[in-house]
Chain A
Amino acid sequence: MNPVPLYVAIPLGAAFLIPLLGMWWKKSGETLAVLSTLVLAVMAILAIGTPAMVHHMGGWTAPLGIALVSDGLTVLLLIAVNVIAFLCIIFSLKYMKVYTGLTKYYSLFMLMVAGMNGVVVSGDLFNLFVFLEVASIASYALVAFGVEADELEAGFKYMILGSVASVMILFAVGTVYAVTGTLNMADASREIATRFGGAEMNPALLLAAAFFLMGFGLKAALVPFHAWLPDAHPSAPAPISAMLSGVVIKSLGVYAMCRVMFHVFGFGTASPSSAIIANAMIGFSVLSIVVGGLLAIGQWDFKRLLAYSSIGQIGYVTLGIGVGARVLATGGTRSLAALAILGGLFHLINHAAFKSLLFLSSGAIQQATGTRDMKMLSGLRKRMPITAATTNLAALSISGVPPFSGFWSKLIIIVATIRAGLMGVAVVAIAMAFVTLAYYVKVQREILFGPVRGPAESAKEVSPLMYVPMIILAIVCVGFGLLYPVLGSRILEPARDALLNGAEYVKLVLG
């Protein structure tokens, strides 16, 4: 049997069963959420190395029916989403004890996972939009889950901007349909390739591409569409912050952007129109790297600092992909484009690991000390050795210290940018990598080292249910850096090839 629909069906089923069974069975949320995310994580890991698959919903073949597609890029995202969802659920078991309405929490969490998996496997533009909305609406509710003044305000801001993004994406989907007469991505890309292949695109399509870029850019929190993120991510409960920064902005934003740009608008071929879009992507990325990095330095709220850092790091991811797209659009060598895209995808999965680890650590610190103000914290290394060790590892990894994973992915992106001839961009990227190091050194100095004082005096190490997921993520951070040869050929290269070979995607879906 084809496992692709199960990635949506399992979490969706769990999301609806949890509140239903919760009427009689208090533990329904915890039990079902742990079971279903465990199954999903195992399924995603087992999917490594399997050939690309298509499932035609209801037996209707591709251009007519909705196709669910699983190729290399999908598998990469599925692993990131489902493994981190599982670890966040384990972390929630203890962390969320202080909240009420837990069946609703687990139900919304599973709904968010279902939406993200749906976006990742969908082969149909409108279906992608629907799943995007499912995941977004669940995440709006989860950000406001604490229903205190700050949470509500952040949730409301996030919701307003998210709705604008959804309107833009829907408008773009409608425009693509009006021009090509189809919603199936493979069919639309074939239509666009035969009509405009290599030449200037129809202005309507260019408008649609701009709206997609804006809409997905808002979901991915690229500067200048980032205003919601520094409020929304710190206000959510820690496991939700980890999900939002770790995977939501990537699957709803970066992944959807890449999929649409490469597999609908045909970024794989040289054309003046895709060069415009690719340049816009690079511009937004550079802005994100600079603005996110500089604003992060001045933050004294630990989670807020992490949120600004997410903006900067997502800029590196889209920079890698944008440079790859620009090289292809201007007729550069394919191997260079492949290198840039590989760097972007590698940074995507690395950032998923270390940023969710940092947010989980911030949750552990907040629960142990009752504050996340960096001025009040000090010397946690002595009181919370495990949390301090994982925070340290993640901070070293994200700031690009060799041999941890973040170093290699940033190195690949910067090397590709230099070889693509974008010296100015590369200089900014290198400079901002040092700024990243600077603000994570600040985190280490203020929180972890120094004398034990203030709230840290009474702090104790958190329970194993909370630190075990953190240790697993820390191992992943180190592993990604050291085991790149294994990881690269099994996960990253299939993902890169899937993104580069638009023609193969068309063949896969349309048969």
Chain B
Amino acid sequence: MTVYFMCAVLLMMGLYCLVAKKNIVKKIIGIVIMDYAVNLYLITIGYKNNGVAPIIEKTTSPELLERFVDPLPQALVLTSIVIGLGTLSLMVSMVIRLYEKHGTFDMSQISKLRG
């Protein structure tokens, strides 16, 4: 249970960073922290104390079967990391273009649109 709370705290830290920081690079770091908090959360769902890799053989005993970890969240996290990488690279490239246009990373100086 504590682990889940820690994930939630990490998620909120990322959200705080996103909302409070003016520097757009720091905002991106906030997004990445949020992303990793969720990845960590997914991993802990599948976590088991003393777990072993879930590879079934003919000789696998029922006791070992009990100790198998759930492989599905790990597959989800792999996919989510790849998606996160794609989003991150697009964000960083946009930040570079924004820097070229304005010469600053400060969102309050960049921002002209009223929302």
A residues with CB within 8 A of B: 126, 130, 133, 137, 140-141, 144, 147-150, 152-157, 159-160, 163-164, 166-167, 170-171, 173-174, 177-178, 183, 227, 230-231, 235
Q: Are B27 and A153 in contact (CB under 8 A)?
A: no
Which of under 10, 10 to 19, 20 to 34, or 35 or more describes the interface residues of B? 35 or more
| Interchain Cβ contacts under 8 Å between A and B, 24 examples | A130-B79, A130-B83, A137-B90, A140-B90, A141-B90, A147-B97, A149-B110, A149-B112, A152-B94, A156-B24, A157-B115, A159-B87, A159-B91, A160-B91, A163-B31, A163-B87, A164-B18, A164-B31, A166-B83, A170-B38, A170-B80, A171-B11, A173-B76, A231-B114
User: What are the nearest 10 A-B pairs in CB distance?
Assistant: A231-B113, A178-B45, A174-B42, A149-B101, A167-B34, A227-B115, A133-B83, A163-B31, A171-B38, A170-B38
Q: Are A126 and B79 in contact (CB under 8 A)?
A: yes
Least CB separation from B101: chain A residue: A149
Interface of A, secondary structure class, is helix
In the complex, B13 has a CB within 8 A of chain A: no
The answer to whether A156 and B98 touch (CB under 8 A), given A171-B38, A174-B41, is yes
Q: Give the total number of A-B pairs whose CB atoms are below 8 A apart.
A: 94
**A41→B2 CA distance, assembly (Å):** 51
**A130→B81 CA distance, assembly (Å):** 11
Q: Are A152 and B98 in contact (CB under 8 A)?
A: yes
**A155→B87 CA distance, assembly (Å):** 12
* Chain B residues, Cβ within 8 Å of A231: 113-115
Q: Are B113 and A167 in contact (CB under 8 A)?
A: no
* Chain A residues, Cβ within 8 Å of B76: 126, 173-174, 177
* Chain A residues, Cβ within 8 Å of B72: 177, 183
**A237→B18 CA distance, assembly (Å):** 28
* Chain B: minimal CB distance from A337 (Å): 34
In the complex, B62 has a CB within 8 A of chain A: no
Q: Are B112 and A159 in contact (CB under 8 A)?
A: no
Cβ contacts B20-61/A at 8 Å (1 or 0 each): 000010010001001101100110010000000000000000
Given contacts A140-B90, A156-B24, A160-B31, 7 further A-B contacts (CB under 8 A): A126-B76, A153-B113, A163-B91, A167-B35, A167-B38, A230-B113, A231-B114
**A163→B35 CA distance, assembly (Å):** 9
Q: Are B90 and A152 in contact (CB under 8 A)?
A: no
Least CB separation from A174: chain B residue: B42
* Chain B residues, Cβ within 8 Å of A163: 31, 34-35, 87, 91
* Chain A residues, Cβ within 8 Å of B42: 170, 174
The answer to whether A159 and B94 touch (CB under 8 A), given A164-B18, A177-B72, is yes
Q: Which of B87, B94, B113 contacts A144 (CB 8 A)?
A: B94
Least CB separation from B95: chain A residue: A156
Q: Are B38 and A156 in contact (CB under 8 A)?
A: no
The answer to whether A230 and B115 touch (CB under 8 A), given A126-B76, A130-B83, A174-B45, is yes
* Chain B: minimal CB distance from A58 (Å): 15
* Chain A residues, Cβ within 8 Å of B114: 230-231
* Chain A residues, Cβ within 8 Å of B83: 130, 133, 166
Q: Are A137 and B87 in contact (CB under 8 A)?
A: yes
* Chain A residues, Cβ within 8 Å of B31: 160, 163-164, 167
Least CB separation from A134: chain B residue: B83
**A156→B35 CA distance, assembly (Å):** 17
Q: Are A174 and B38 in contact (CB under 8 A)?
A: yes
Q: Are A154 and B113 in contact (CB under 8 A)?
A: yes
* Chain A residues, Cβ within 8 Å of B15: 164
Q: Are B18 and A160 in contact (CB under 8 A)?
A: yes
Q: Are B98 and A153 in contact (CB under 8 A)?
A: yes
Max chain A CB contacts within 10 Å: which of B83, B95, B112?
A: B83
